[in-house]
Amino acid sequence: MGDDLSASTLTALLVLLLLISAFFSGSETALLTLNRYRLRHRARQGHLGARLAERLLARPDRLISLILIGSNIANTLATALVTMAALRIGGPGGVAIASVGLAFVIMVFTDVMPKTLGALRSEALGLPAAIVYFVLLKVTLPVVWFISAISNTLLRLFGVKPDQTNPHHLTLEELRTLVMEAGTKLPRRRQRMLMSILELEDMTVDEIMIPDNALVGIDLDNDWNEIATTITTSRHSRLPVFRGSIENLVGILYIRKLVMTDAGALDKAVIESKMDEPFFIPEGTSLHGLLGQFQRSGQRTAFVVDEYGDIQGLVTIEDLLEEILGEFSGNGTEAPDEVRREDKSDSWLVDAGINVRALNRRMRWHLPTDGPTTLNGLILEQLETFPVAGTVLKLNGYPVEITEIGDNVVKTVRIRPPPADSLAEA
């Protein structure tokens, strides 16, 4: 009976030691594979395990020393118990067999399995384990400190500074990848908005400006009836004011400034007295830089000029906001004069003057964005000649048919996106 009790006790102790070793092995992997940004978020919310895990991971040398101390003690005692039992049962020959069996058990049940589980359930295992480790560290701090000091001293001899922990800062490209891989955890609309903000540094005002040949403004050389018609029919809240051509720009008029003026008193002199000085920015300015200039100057409209001072286009704060938030439209759909679906067809008629990035964002397409900013420019660059109606080409795998040309530009095209993109838009 005594022998049976002794064998039962040895078996229970062995199982307990193996469980302790498995705990140290699995929790080590769980803690070291925790998502540091989610951990920081939960710690700021007041989660005890997250707060303690953050403190432990701030000194990984001490954490690893504590884990190795516990794991080695458990494995050493388990080996001693197995050796005692093997000697009692099979003598010296039994020790060799028991040692091989114990090595297999330790490798599978206290190493591979716990580490795999820790990697797959890092938060579920790591946060509770942090509470246990924090208590153990308080108890064993002198021993842990001594072992860490020796280890850190040896590391410094090899040029490694253990006190310099990785701050886990993300680069811009890594942040973009993080946003793109957020998946269902981030609504598509917010995902597109965040990606637009991250792309502000890469995009320039040339990509979103209204080109000079499309500007609608007030020509002071025209008679008053033409000027009045321009003011009353314009869909824009701000109009350039010039003499003869946009190159002779004299100011910009905010239509709201005319609201309190009697219609009978309106004339060219009133317009000149109420217009503001134009604000200029060089072409190639990044959208991030444009946002900063708008904030510093308090301006909402800027004229884009080239190196010779010639006006290339106009950009407004609304254009910048649309680049981030998406198109502003009354019904939340694409403007019918820019993108419209053909009846009973999977093809789309597109105004070739549309900005390529805006088109990709609206339709979730993947047309090239590393060249010309408009679809017309992209087509002309691809063909290297002025096409005729009916010309068909492919842009990044998208079949494009030119349906209308005029004034030396491609006006309308028919695009039939690949099946995957058609489903995304359906």
Please indicate, yes or no, if residue 195 is contained in any of the structural domains. Answer: no
Question: Does residue 53 register a pLDDT over 70?
Answer: yes
Q: Are residues 113 and 243 in the same domain?
A: no
Sole residue written with tokens 């500007």? 215
Top mean-pLDDT range of 189-203, 230-244, 336-350: 230-244
Residue 332 neighbours by CB distance under 10 Å: 8
Instruction: Please state the pTM of the whole predicted model.
Output: 0.58
Give the pLDDT score at 176.
74
* pLDDT tens-digit map of 182-210: 766 677 777 777 877 887 777 888 888 88
Q: How does residue 331 score in pLDDT terms, banded at 50, 70 and 90? A: very low
Say how many C-beta atoms besides its own lie within 10 A of residue 270's C-beta. Answer: 15
One domain, residues 348 and 244? no
Q: Do 306 and 355 belong together in one domain? A: no
Per DSSP bridges, beta strands 210-211 and 245-254 are: unpaired
Tell whether 35 and 12 lie within a shared domain. Answer: yes
Residue 164 within any structural domain of the chain: no
In a domain, 248, yes or no: yes
Same domain, 22 and 147: yes
Same domain, 281 and 356: no
Side-chain half-sphere CA neighbours of 229 within 13 A: 6
Mean predicted lDDT score pLDDT of the chain: 83
Q: What is the pLDDT of residue 171?
A: 72
Same domain, 320 and 354: no
**Host domain of residue 37:** 2-157
Gap between the Cα atoms of 219 and 205, Å rounded? 25
One domain, residues 246 and 304: yes
Q: Residue 112 pLDDT more than 60?
A: yes
Helices (H) and strands (E) in the chain, counts: 15, 12
Helix (H, G, I), strand (E, B) or coil at 237: coil
What is the percent of the chain with per-residue pLDDT over 90, rounded to a whole number? Answer: 26
Bridge partners of residue 204, in order along the sequence? 286
Q: Looking at the domain assignment, is residue 51 inside a domain?
A: yes
What CATH number has the domain bearing residue 293? Answer: 3.10.580.10
- Residue 299's CB: how many other CB atoms inside 10 A? 18
pLDDT at residue 135 in the model: 93
Amino acid code (one letter) for 351: D
122 within some domain: yes
Provide the domain count of the chain.
Answer: 3
Q: Is residue 191 part of a domain?
A: no
Residue 420 in this model has a pLDDT that exceeds 80: no
In a domain, 232, yes or no: yes
Using 50, 70 and 90 to split pLDDT, how confident is the model at 157?
Answer: confident
Residues 343 and 321 in one domain: no
Identify the residue whose tokens are 């048919």. Answer: 401
Are 235 and 368 found together in one domain? no
Residues 343 and 284 in one domain: no
Q: Is the pLDDT of residue 131 over 90?
A: yes
Contact 163, 247 (CB under 8 A): no
User: Is the domain of 10 the same as that of 125?
Assistant: yes
Task: Decide if 162 is inside a domain.
Answer: no
Question: Tokens standing for 336?
Answer: 């019918």
Residue 406 dihedral angles phi and psi, to the nearest 5°: 170, 150
Question: In the numeric block, which tokens belong to residue 152?
Answer: 């850190």
Domain boundary among the residues 325, 351, 380 is at 325
Could you tell me the sign of the dihedral formed by the alpha carbons of 278, 282, 283, 285, in that order?
A: negative
Of 139, 157, 175, which residue constitutes the final position of a domain? Answer: 157
Domain boundary among 303, 325, 347: 325
The secondary structure element, H or E, covering residue 218 is strand 218-219
State the DSSP H helix or E strand holding residue 164, giving kind and residue range, or none if neither: none
Identify the CATH number of the domain in which residue 394 sits. 3.30.465.10
d(CA 419, CA 425): 10
